[in-house]
C-alpha cells in the first residue's frame, strides 16, 4: 500500500474512533475484543496493495494472477449487471504468506438452538466473533466451552466490511476454484449492498443465493464456448443442495427434540442418538446420490455440535424464496435488487415481506 493510502487508512481509523467509542459504549461491547480486532483490521489494510501492483510485482504464481484477474472481472460483472455496490471492495490484495487470516468463533446452548450473540455498532447483533489471532480465538472458544456452550471455530478466507471498510482480496481466497471464488465475491458484495440489522440468517442466506446464482451466470458469461465448466459447477451446487437439504432436515429433527419437555440434561444426553442416526442416513441414502460423493466423506464424522448446525442453517434458509423472486422479475438483477432491499428495510419479517410480494404479483 502506498503512503497516501496508508494515510487514508490512518485518517479513517482516527476519525472513526470517537464514533466507535460512543456506539460501542452504548452497545456494551467488550473493548478487550474490539480493540485487538480493530488493530488487526488496520494492520491488514496497511499491508494490502493495489491488485494491479500485486500482479505487476512478479511475486505471484500464474494461477494467483489468473485468480486476481477473475476477481476483477467478477467485481465488474457484479457492478454492471447485478447492480451491487463495489466501492472499495476487492481493489487491493493482502498476501498472508500461506497462513490463515481470520478465525470465526460461534457458540450455542447444548440443549437448544439458541446462539450466543454479540452486539456491535453499525452491524447489530451477530452470532460469531472474528479473530485475526488463532491463540485469541482458541482462548475465547475455551472460555465459552467452560461456560457450557457448544463451540465451533473455523477459518475465514473472506469477509465483508459492509461498505464501511476496504475489503482486500485475501491470498487464501485464491486457493478456491473459479466457481467458488466468483461465488465468494458476489456473496461479499451483496453484504455491502443489502444488510439488515440484527438478522444474520437473512443476510447470509440472501448472500448465499446471490453468490451461487451470480457465479453460475457469470461462469456462463465468461466461458460461452465451454459449457462443461458450467455443468461442472451445476453438479457441484447440486451436491451442495442435497447435503444442505439433509442438514436442514436434521436441524428440524433436533429442534423438535429440544422443544420437548425433557430436562436439559436429558436433551444433551439424548441428542447424540439423533446426530448419529443422521450421519448413518446421509451415508446410506444421500451420499450415493451425489456427483462427487468423496467430497462429503467428512459427514460420517460430523460433530455433535449445535453451533455447527446453526451455521449451516444461517447460510441456507429458504433459498427457494429468493429464487422465486428472481424468476418473477424475469431474472433481472436490477429489478429484483430493490425488492430484496425493501425486504431488508421492512419492519416485518423479511421472508414474510417477500412472500407477500410474491402473492401480490400473482393477483
pLDDT of residue 263: 98
| Cβ 123 vs Cβ 102: under 8 Å | no
CA distance 94 to 228: 32
Confidence (pLDDT) at 42: 81
Averaged pLDDT, 117-139: 85
Contact (CB, 8 A) for 343 and 353: yes
pLDDT tens-digit map of 114-126:
999 988 766 678 8
Sign of CA dihedral 220, 221, 224, 226: negative
Average pLDDT over residues 9-30: 39
Q: How far is CA 23 from the centre of its chain?
A: 24
The string of pLDDT tens digits covering residues 67-88 is 999 999 999 999 999 999 998 8
Output the pTM of the full model: 0.86
> What is the C-alpha to C-alpha distance for residues 301 and 298, in angstroms, rounded to an integer?
6
Which phi and psi angles does 196 have, rounded to 5°? -105, 120
pLDDT score at 31: 64
Instruction: Tell me: pLDDT of 22 over 50.
Output: no
Percent of the chain with pLDDT strictly greater than 70: 89
Distance CA 65, CA 56 (A): 9
Domain boundaries, the chain: 3-214, 231-362
- ∠ CA 130-131-137, nearest 5°, is 110
pLDDT tens readout for residues 152-210: 999 887 766 665 677 899 999 999 999 999 999 999 999 999 999 889 999 999 999 99
Q: How far apart are CA 79 and CA 81, in angstroms?
A: 6
For residue 291, what are the CA distances in angstroms to 46, 234, 285, 297? 43, 10, 14, 13
The CA–CA distances, whole Å, from 256 to 131, 250, 262, 307, 351 equal 33, 10, 11, 17, 22
Amino acid at each position: 500500500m502506498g503512503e497516501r493510502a496508508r494515510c487514508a487508512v490512518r485518517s479513517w481509523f482516527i476519525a472513526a474512533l470517537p464514533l466507535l467509542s460512543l456506539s460501542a459504549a452504548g452497545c456494551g461491547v467488550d473493548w478487550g475484543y474490539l480493540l485487538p480486532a480493530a488493530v488487526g483490521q488496520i494492520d491488514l489494510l496497511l499491508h494490502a496493495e493495489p491488485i494491479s501492483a500485486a500482479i505487476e510485482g512478479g511475486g505471484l504464481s500464474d494461477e494467483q494472477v489468473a485468480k486476481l484477474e477473475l476477481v476483477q472481472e467478477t467485481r465488474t460483472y457484479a457492478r454492471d449487471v447485478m447492480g451491487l455496490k463495489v466501492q472499495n471492495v476487492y481493489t487491493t490484495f493482502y498476501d498472508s504468506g500461506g497462513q490463515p487470516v481470520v478465525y470465526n468463533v460461534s457458540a450455542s446452548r447444548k440443549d437448544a438452538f439458541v446462539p450466543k450473540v454479540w452486539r456491535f455498532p453499525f452491524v447489530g447483533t451477530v452470532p460469531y466473533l472474528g479473530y485475526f489471532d488463532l491463540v485469541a480465538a482458541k482462548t475465547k472458544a475455551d472460555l465459552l466451552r467452560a461456560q457450557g456452550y457448544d463451540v465451533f471455530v473455523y477459518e475465514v478466507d473472506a469477509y465483508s466490511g459492509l461498505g464501511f471498510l476496504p475489503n482486500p482480496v485475501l491470498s487464501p481466497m485464491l486457493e478456491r476454484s473459479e466457481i467458488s471464488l466468483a461465488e465468494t465475491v458476489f456473496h461479499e458484495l451483496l453484504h455491502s449492498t443489502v444488510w439488515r440489522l440484527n438478522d444474520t440468517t437473512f443476510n447470509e442466506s440472501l448472500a448465499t443465493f446471490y453468490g451461487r446464482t451470480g457465479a453460475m451466470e457469470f461462469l456462463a458469461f465468461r466461458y460461452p464456448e465451454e459449457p462443461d465448466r458450467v455443468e461442472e459447477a451445476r453438479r457441484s451446487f447440486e451436491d451442495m443442495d442435497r447435503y444442505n437439504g439433509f442438514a436442514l432436515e436434521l436441524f428440524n429433527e433436533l429442534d423438535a427434540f429440544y422443544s420437548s419437555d425433557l430436562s436439559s440434561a436429558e436433551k444433551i444426553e439424548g441428542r447424540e442418538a439423533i446426530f448419529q442416526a443422521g450421519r448413518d442416513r446421509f451415508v446410506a441414502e444421500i451420499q450415493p446420490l451425489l456427483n462427487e460423493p468423496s467430497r462429503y466423506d467428512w459427514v460420517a464424522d460430523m460433530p455433535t455440535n449445535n453451533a455447527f448446525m446453526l451455521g449451516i442453517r444461517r447460510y441456507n434458509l429458504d433459498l427457494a424464496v429468493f429464487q422465486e423472486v428472481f424468476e418473477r422479475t424475469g431474472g433481472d438483477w436490477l429489478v429484483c435488487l430493490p425488492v430484496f432491499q425493501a425486504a431488508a428495510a421492512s419492519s416485518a419479517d423479511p421472508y414474510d415481506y417477500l412472500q407477500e410480494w410474491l402473492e401480490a404479483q400473482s393477483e
